[in-house]
Each structure stands twice: as structure tokens, then as C-alpha cells.
Structure 1
Amino acid sequence: MGSGQVTTSVPSGPSEFQGKHVTVAGLGVSGLPAAKALHARGAIVTAVNDGDDARAREQAAELEALGITVRLGDGATLPEGTELIVTAPGWQPDKPLFLAAEKAGVPVWGDVELAWRLRGPDAAPWLAVTGTNGKTTTVQMLASILKAAGLRTAAVGNIGVSLLDAVLGDEKYDVLAVELSSYQLHWAPSLRACSAAVLNLAPDHLDWHGSMDAYAADKGRIYEGNKVACVYNVADPRTEDLVREADVEEGCRAVGFTLGTPSVSQLGVVDGILVDRAFVENRHKNAQELAEVADVDPPAPHNIANALAAAGLARSFGVSPQAVRDGLRAFRPDAHRIAHVADLDGVAYVDDSKATNTHAAQASLAAYEPIVWIAGGLAKGAEFDELVAASAKRLRGVVLIGADRALIHEALARHAPEVPVVDLDRTDTGAMLQAVTEAKRLARPGDTVLLAPACASMDMFTNYNQRGDAFAAAVRELGA
């Protein structure tokens, strides 16, 4: 992304931001392009940031060179005269800055809201995706399908590509595949997607949202004002509840996806075939073949669900069955998402370091049997009883690492007391080689050694990517 530059000409007509005092809260991927876009439209911009490190100072210098006021190390105080705040998505709603804004009657937008409002009259429609897990994969699958249909598109949003860059840039799109986090949706009151999907709901980021109900409500914002279809997960009734609660345009349909045989207005799986009973003529009697399960990489159950959600959104936009198949065949998942690393002595080694919460880990564990499970890290307040109880019968053994491994160990003692557990009292980066060595000792031919930590990585590693790389390096070392 670099500095988040927006390559666009300033509109020649009057701007609603001309002379308006706008505070941009937070620099980085979203804050920098937001400040620049607002400044270019005549706003009087003040950027505030909690941090005052070298990166923040570099970004501040870039904005100050344009004439934008920047306050580093002070993200709590509402600048005098502020008429609007545009915030980075991660800033919590209870920050003093926002409490002061509420008291003063100052509206708060996120970068997604700003991008939505700055779209031109011929802007590309949005096909939007949210959910606790699977967002990035689904959006990338969707973009691959749309490209296979010959459409100009990009995967944008929470995926790392700024929506402002996509909306204001010179490149023209037919449609955008948009990943949206609960944070982004919280600050996007006027967003209205063409079609949208909520993949699943599980407790996550509750420290930010305050409760599961508030978290679900923010996820559900993605359905507001949908024009064509609200895509939901049949296996997660809460996603369908959010559809029912949404205020959508007349004619917008509820479309489910399921790993079983689909009912009317659903997509599902029949005899290894992904089929559509939602966007076909006479859907009460007919179904359209879209692709084979084998066309999805990897063909794990939760990834098939991702593919069905992506297919549903694409079909809502009029994409052909052939393009769905071709797009899924062309798609390759990012690293550390159920990535097969190697086979050693008849044992498969799989890296799902991206499984940073219990919901993602449970989906990963459901894809294999029997398993030697490597787990642990920062629990972020999670509880592990449900995960362990659901997965106990699949476990050959468990190797625990990380700061909060005791929480998983206690759940294993309660729900899987017969499963052998190796508890590594280490939180250094080098512990991964010992963990993989112990897992190799526990595994038998036909087993899968699965890194699906169910925890965040920052106790031992910079991020989940580094954790996955350490796992893959350890596997390679053992196989050398």
C-alpha cells in the first residue's frame, strides 16, 4: 500500500467538505488517504494519532507538507471546531475522543463510510462480505469468479486495499468485492451494498464491541439497504436472524448456503457438486450445477462454505455457472490457511496458523481425522470447552505452546482426558521446532499434524504469518 496515495483528480464542482473542519482519527492505511482526500476537497483537516513513533512521524511529515495539521501522541482530545470525525476502523467507540464528539453532537464516520459517500455517480456496485472467519478467502474467491466472468473488479476493504484508493483511483471497475470487518461496519451507517453475506458469527472482539449482541448487530449492518440478495449461512441461524432484522430494498431476497442439499433459494452440495437453487428458472423444481467440490482449494468443509457464499454473491450479480467454476478453479488461498506443508513418513503436516480463534480452529479440526493438534498462544479471553468437546474424538494427541496454553490443557482434562498432551513450558520462537518434533513422535501414518492454534500469536511471534512460517520451517527441518 505504501503511503496510501490516491491517484485522482479533484472534482471541479463544489464539495460538501469545502471549509468543513474534519478530524481524521488515526494514521496508517486508512487515515492517510482519508486526510488527503478530504484536504483535496477543501476540508480543513486535523489528523490526530495516539502513537508518536518513527512511522507516525514520517506519515505526519507527508500530511504537513500538504498543509494538514497533525497532532501525534494525542488522540483523546477533540480538536476545537470539529464538525466531523473520520476514524480508523480499530479505534474503540468508548475512546474519550468519541465520547466528546457524542456530547458535542459531532458525527463519526469510518473510512468505509467516507469511501461510500465519495463514490462518483457511475460508481461500481459493492458485493460485500463479513463474518467472524473466512472473510478474506471468500472475498478473494469472489474476485476470482468475477474476473473469470470478464468483469473489472478488485478485492478491497479490510483485505488490505483501501476502499478510498479503489473508489477515488483512476481505474474503473464494474463491481467491487468488499471485505468488511465489524469495526468498519460499526462506523458505516449509510453503506448500501448490492448484495452482502454474513458467513458466520462467533464470539470475537467482544472487548471492542462490549457484548455479543452488539458485535452481531454491527455485522448485521452489512445487510441494510441491500438491493438484490442477503446471503446467509443455513448452519448458523443467527446470520438468518440478521437478514430478517435488516431493512432492505423491495425485491431483495434472502439466499442461504449449506453444505447439505439446498432447499429453494439456497446454494448447497449434492453428490460432490456445488449447486444453485436460488438464481435459476423455476427454482422450485430445478437446480444449476456450478462446480465440483474438487474445484475448491482446499476442499475442507468450511472452505466449501466460503465457496458457496462467494458463488451466491456472484450469481446475484448475474455471473454464469461456468464463470463460478472457472473462478474457483483459478483461486489459490493465501499462506497459512489450511496449507499442506509436507508429508513425512505417511503423516500430513498442515499449517492453519490463521486459525487465531476457537471458531476458526474448530472448522479446521473438522476437516481432518485423526489429528495431532498443535495449539496455544494468546487466548484473548476465549474459552475452549466447546472447541475441545466438539473435536475430542478426532485427536490422537495435542502439543501445547504459548502463554495461555493452560486454558486449553484444562479443557482437554475435562473433555478429552484420554488424549495424550505435551505441554511445552516455552514462549520463545524456537519452541515451534520442539512442538513439531513432539507432534511427529505422537503421530502415526495416516494422521495429520495440524497447527490450528485457536489463539493469537503475539506472545511468541510478530503475527500469525511468522508463526506459520516457523511451523513450515520446522517441518522441513525434520524432513531434511
Structure 2
Amino acid sequence: MGSGQVTSTVSPDFQGKHVTVAGLGVSGVPAARVLHARGATVTVVNDGDDARAREQAAELRALGITVRLGDGDTLPEGTELVVTAPGWKPGKPLFRAAAEAGIDVWGDVELAWRLRAPDAAPWLCVTGTNGKTTTVQMLACILRAAGLRTAAVGNIGVSLLDAVLGDEPYDVLAVELSSYQLHWAPSLRAHSAAVLNLAPDHLDWHGSMEAYAADKGRIYEGNRVACVYNVADKATEDLVREADVEEGCRAIGFTLGTPGPSQLGVVDGILVDRAFVENRYKNAQELAEVSDITPPAPHNIANALAAAGLARAFGVPPKAVRDGLRAFRPDAHRIAHVADVDGVAYVDDSKATNTHAAQASLAAYESIVWIAGGLAKGATFDELVAESAERLRGVVLIGADRALIREALARHAPEVPVVDLDRTDTGAMLQAVQEARRLAAPGDTVLLAPACASMDMFTNYTKRGDAFAEAVRELGS
């Protein structure tokens, strides 16, 4: 890790400044309102011109904000700053024009960081290809158990602008950050931060794995106390090594094995801290038991260790780590047990929308009938199938890109029976569950871990998970 003192960013003066907000939606509308309230001359540009966009535009125009619908590529004349929704791709003509004119582009995270008060609550930040939301929620539970005023914010829950500018006084914020948000947040400097893992995702947005990793690595820049990384994922440690941090900031690893000095890990079913203890070369501190974590799947234990690392970096006592993890309950559709029917467990992990997440889910069970498929988003499935083949009792495939998984199964698990459902209507889920029941034996787990996005068949992964749960309930009725 490099080192260098990083000073806090001075809150900007927007009075009379011409600011273009790129994109409406959950981040653009509040950004436009905040900037307008601070005296900026705001123009909002948006690609879409649908009913929802027109409704949002009407609300902003009533405040005196200019809105241009159906033209998100043209940079308005006189623009001095662009504030963008995180999902807008860096290669858009609007951003190229801004770069040529020497105009800064900020995301909503950058805007929130710049607008926070000088004595504002420090940020504990989390990113990674998978596990971000769960880890941030675990972290918030631990911080609350320590008696701290906190909220899970960022790419989850409360918006960062609301958290920074609202009346609620926070002691510390647990912040989930996507690679998109980090790309547009050049001056963010966290108290401590974690990168949970790195696997190919959103490469159509970033352009390459290298660019994706570099944006994830921005979370470590200027960290004051700890850069938390995954010992099992060397790429995360490499990002720590490359980061320019404040003097005294430490690299803290987490591992599912026995921890070394400056690491958190697991010994005989106990979560152990060898990072934030006196004489870490000889001593260790028990934090919690694996049984305190719901569910105690390997990837979820890793999430808990990362959350504990950030909490300990903030000075949280061991008892609060244990109490917070005991209090935590995961969101729906994240490796959620739906029911047992005829001795077979049915588990909904519809949130496993990429191969990395599905691999973690499959690793949690010994004998699986796997329901998979959907929109592959450019992913390949050979590694996932090869690593999971010995656990598969059967596979049921659904969705537009199911052939890619079927071909990987033929190459790496030819003996596993496969049911290929040639349909993409929402009713396919009921048939998929019925076919999975036929393939399963008592003691097996029927696991919905699609490794794909849902939009070919469902509005989102939540609707897909709901359809699975409803189909399982029909089995048991």
C-alpha cells in the first residue's frame, strides 16, 4: 500500500453554477432537487421519454428545473459540472463532450461526499461482485448492537444524499457501493473499506475486467484505518497493494481457514480476530460462533467476517459482533429456505444472478437439483459446472440462454440428468419445480440459483423468487 495524507474535500458552492444532471430515477431526481435548493441552475437530461419520466419531469419543472427528455447524449450549453446516475456508461457522447471541455463528472456518491458536513459520520464502505448488500446489513446490525447510530446506505436502503443531508444524526454509516458508483466517485475517502471478491460482471459497462477491477479498487483510496480484503481472492489483496492510503492504514484479511496475524478467520466453528488485538502474533479474540450466522453457508460466513473486520476497525467490541450477527436476517431471495416437501429442502437464491453468486450458493449444499437459466449477460458456465458437478443430482433449465448451461453440463457433467424446458413464460417456474421434485430424493436440496438475470421471464429477481416459492407451496398443498 502506498501512503499519503488525504485532506477532507471542501463542500462546494453551487450558487449560480450551471449543473447538468444525467438521468432521472432514484438518484437523478434527488440530486436535481438538492442542487437546485443550493442555488444551482439545473438541467436534467434523460434518455427515456416514458410515462414515469414525464411524471418525474413535471415534478422538477414545477420547481423551475429544466428537463430534456429523450436526449441524454447532448451536453447542454454552459454546463460547468455533470452529475450522473451511476448506471450511465462512461462511453456516452455526453461524457466524451464533458471530458473534451474539461468538465468534471460526479456520481450521486461523489455529490453526497462533497456535501457532507465537516463533522459528518465516517463511512465504512463495502464493494465486491457478490455479497455487498448482505455484508452491509450485517455491518449495520453489528454497529447498532454496539449502541451506535447508523444506517445501511448507498446502493441499498437510505440514499446517501438523504443520509448526509437529513436531520438524523449518525455516528457512522455502513455504505454499499457498486462499481458504477465508484467509477464516478473520485474523491471518496472512507474510514475503512472492504472488497469482498472479484469476478467478471458488468464487463459490457466497464469495457474490460481490468477496468472493472480498477473501479472496485477505488474504494480503498485514502482509507484511514483498514483495507479489508479476501485472502481466498488474490485480486482483492492486489487492489490493497495498489491503493494510496493514509499513513498507518492496515491491510486486514478475512479467511474461512485459520487466520494469520492481521486476519480474521474461523477456528473450530468460532469466528476469530487476530487483527484488532494486542500482540496479534500470539493472541486471538473470539467474536462469534458460525452457528450465530443465518444461513451458515460458506459465502455468508465470509460476509460476516468482512463485516466484523470493518466493525472492529471502527472499535466495536467483540460482544457487539456476536450480538449483531445473531440479530441479522438476510433479505428475501438470498439462499432462503422456502419449505421441506417429502424430505427435500427447497431453497430460493434467485438473487444469484451471475456465475460467481451461483457458485457460492451451490457450494453450500451436498446433493442438489439445480434450477438455472435466464439471461447470461455474456457469461460462460464451464467453470461453474466443472466445480459443482459432483454435487448435482439433476438440473432443470429455464430461460432464454439455457443452452449455454446445457452445453457446459454436456462437457463437464454428462452423467447428470438434465430437463430442458423450452419456454420462457412465467408459468415455466411451476413446471420447473415439478420437474425438480421428480429428480430429487429425500435429503436433496432443490436450489434455485439461476446464475443469470431474470428479465427474459420476470420483471426482476424478486418476482422470479416469488414464483419459485409459490410453486413450492403448491407442491406441499
Short-chain TM bin: over 0.9
Moved more, 132-141 or 160-169: 160-169
Contact kept, 8 Å, 1:358 with 1:384, in 2: the verdict is yes
Secondary structure (helix, strand or coil) at the match of 1:214 reads helix
Secondary structure (helix, strand or coil) at the match of 1:78 reads coil
Among 358, 373, 378, the alignment partner of 2:375 is 378
Aligned counterparts of 1:14 and 1:423: Cα–Cα separation in 2: 57
Matched, 1:202 2:177: no
Moved over 4 A (4+): none
Distance verdict in 2 for CA 1:244–1:305, change over 3 Å: same
Amino acid at match of 2:264: L
Among 365, 368, 387, the alignment partner of 1:368 is 365
Matched, 1:118 2:115: yes
Among 315, 323, 341, the alignment partner of 2:338 is 341
Contact kept, 8 Å, 1:15 with 1:41, in 2: the verdict is no
Among 443, 449, 453, the alignment partner of 2:450 is 453
Aligned equivalent of 1:6: none
Q: How does 1:410-429 map to 2 (within 5 A)?
A: 410-429=407-426
Amino acid at match of 1:49: N
Aligned counterparts of 2:189 and 2:135: Cα–Cα separation in 1: 19
Secondary structure (helix, strand or coil) at the match of 1:16 reads coil
Secondary structure (helix, strand or coil) at the match of 1:100 reads helix
Among 227, 231, 245, the alignment partner of 2:228 is 231
Deviations 1:97-147 (A, max 9, x none): 001111111110000000000000110000000000000000000000000
Secondary structure (helix, strand or coil) at the match of 2:287 reads strand
Aligned counterparts of 1:18 and 1:318: Cα–Cα separation in 2: 39
Contact kept, 8 Å, 1:31 with 1:87, in 2: the verdict is yes
Aligned counterparts of 2:160 and 2:373: Cα–Cα separation in 1: 34
Shift of 1:405: 0.3
Among 68, 72, 82, the alignment partner of 1:75 is 72
Aligned counterparts of 1:66 and 1:377: Cα–Cα separation in 2: 42
Secondary structure (helix, strand or coil) at the match of 1:397 reads strand
Amino acid at match of 1:174: D
Matched, 1:155 2:152: yes
Aligned counterparts of 1:106 and 1:213: Cα–Cα separation in 2: 25
Contact kept, 8 Å, 1:358 with 1:382, in 2: the verdict is yes
Among 59, 67, 77, the alignment partner of 2:56 is 59
Amino acid at match of 1:232: Y
Shift of 1:63: 1.1
Aligned counterparts of 2:57 and 2:212: Cα–Cα separation in 1: 33
Aligned counterparts of 1:183 and 1:149: Cα–Cα separation in 2: 31
Shift of 1:32: 1.0
Identity of aligned residues (%): 89
Contact kept, 8 Å, 1:15 with 1:42, in 2: the verdict is no
Q: How does 1:21-32 map to 2 (within 5 A)?
A: 21-32=18-29
Aligned counterparts of 1:324 and 1:268: Cα–Cα separation in 2: 14
Aligned equivalent of 1:462: 459
Aligned counterparts of 2:455 and 2:103: Cα–Cα separation in 1: 36
Aligned counterparts of 1:69 and 1:413: Cα–Cα separation in 2: 56
Shift of 1:15: 5.8
Shift of 1:160: 4.1
Shift of 1:161: 2.4
Number of matched pairs:
468
TM-score, normalisation: structure 1: 0.97
Aligned equivalent of 1:444: 441
Structure 1 residues not aligned, in runs of 5+: 1-12
Deviations 1:294-345 (A, max 9, x none): 0000000000000000000000000010000000000000000000000111
Among 341, 348, 351, the alignment partner of 1:351 is 348
Amino acid at match of 1:316: A
